Amino acid sequence: MKTCARLLIALFASAAVSAGVQAQPLEGTLKKIKDSGAITLGHRDASIPLSYYDDKQQPVGYAVDLCLKIVDAIKAELKMPKIDVKYQLVTSANRIPLMANGTIDLECGSTTNNLERQQQVWFTITHFVTANKFVSKRSAKLARLEDLKGKTVVSTAGTTNIKQLTQLNAAKNLGISIISANGHPEAFQMVESGCAAAFVMDDILLYGLVANSKNPKDFTISQEALSVEPYGIMLRKDDAAFKKVVDAAMVAHYKSPEAAKLYAKWFQQPIPPRGINLNVPMSAQLKKVMANPTSSGDPKDYQ
């Protein structure tokens, strides 16, 4: 009888603990989604193949698909059969403010996760690793950073790329005239038109712009990498409960066969709107992340 009594006491204690955990009120983004029945995904218009508009002006891309998988995980966590998915176009310049002020809940794009940005926002598990390079006309024969000395070079406003270019320009006394563009297509157009000698940006985005240009063979992308750039889906800072759900969704995806399939869909198969295949194999850095998921903002962790 004493044994039975002890078992009953243990069961009641366990039930009390469980009830206490379940009774914890929702906070932050999870509460916002539960109360509103909706989630707002920030997306880009031309970050091919991660986040961009297709020919129907619908947001598509590798990062967008990942965000939709995260939404499914949130549905399960909140026991909601349906969550209304809303989309909000963001730019390099306004994406962090729109996250901080609550306009968007996840940013599904091509945003570099670094230690400086982590002071303002948080990131989930890295979903792509790229490098800061530059594109130029093949006829110009520009291969290295030093070849840009004294030339006009463009990059996109609000990016880590333009900041790094400015720092390198000063440190190496290159005398580069740096122009800030409002978006990636505008920056690439400046190289196409001859207004700029080169466009400094993440290599995967340059591959997409070149592949979709009128004459892809006219352009070349530098082999020299100025930096390593890990991409992360952005979320609000200090929202530990939400990050836990989002990170778990990413880890579960990486452990499933779907991870390789989704990568191939966007990087190794024809993609909308023009059916162009970027043919970019998965890098050793991304394979490392999939095997050992991390949301580190330290470039050294990706080398």
Please check whether residues 241 and 95 belong to one and the same domain: yes
Which range marks the domain in which residue 200 is found?
131-228
Please check whether residues 37 and 120 belong to one and the same domain: yes
**Which of 181, 206, 228 marks a domain boundary?**
228
**Which of 228, 245, 272 marks a domain boundary?**
228
**Which of 228, 261, 290 marks a domain boundary?**
228
CA–CA distance, 240 with 221 (Å, rounded to integer): 39
Q: Which tens digits make up the pLDDT trace of 215-270?
A: 999 999 999 999 999 999 999 999 999 999 999 999 999 999 999 999 999 999 99
Q: What is the CATH number of the domain that holds 175?
A: 3.40.190.10
Give kind and range of the element (H or E) at residue 89: strand 84-89
User: Is 12 a domain residue?
Assistant: no
User: Is 294 a domain residue?
Assistant: yes
User: Is 166 a domain residue?
Assistant: yes
Give CA angle at 113 (107, 119), nearest 5°. Answer: 95
Structural contact between residues 4 and 12, judged by C-beta atoms closer than 8 angstroms: no
How would you classify the pairing of strands 219-221 and 177-181?
A: unpaired
Please check whether residues 236 and 189 belong to one and the same domain: no
User: Is 298 a domain residue?
Assistant: yes
Please check whether residues 99 and 245 belong to one and the same domain: yes
Lowest-pLDDT choice from 12-16, 137-141, 221-225: 12-16
In the chain, the percentage of residues whose pLDDT exceeds 90 is: 91
Q: Which residue has the higher pLDDT, 276 or 19?
A: 276
Q: What is the pLDDT of residue 303?
A: 85
User: Is 71 a domain residue?
Assistant: yes
Q: Which tens digits make up the pLDDT trace of 202-213?
A: 999 999 999 999
User: Is 37 a domain residue?
Assistant: yes
Please state the domain count of the chain.
Answer: 2
CA dist list (Å): 198 to 12, 149, 165:
69, 11, 12
User: Is 296 a domain residue?
Assistant: yes
User: Is 1 a domain residue?
Assistant: no
pTM over 0.75: yes
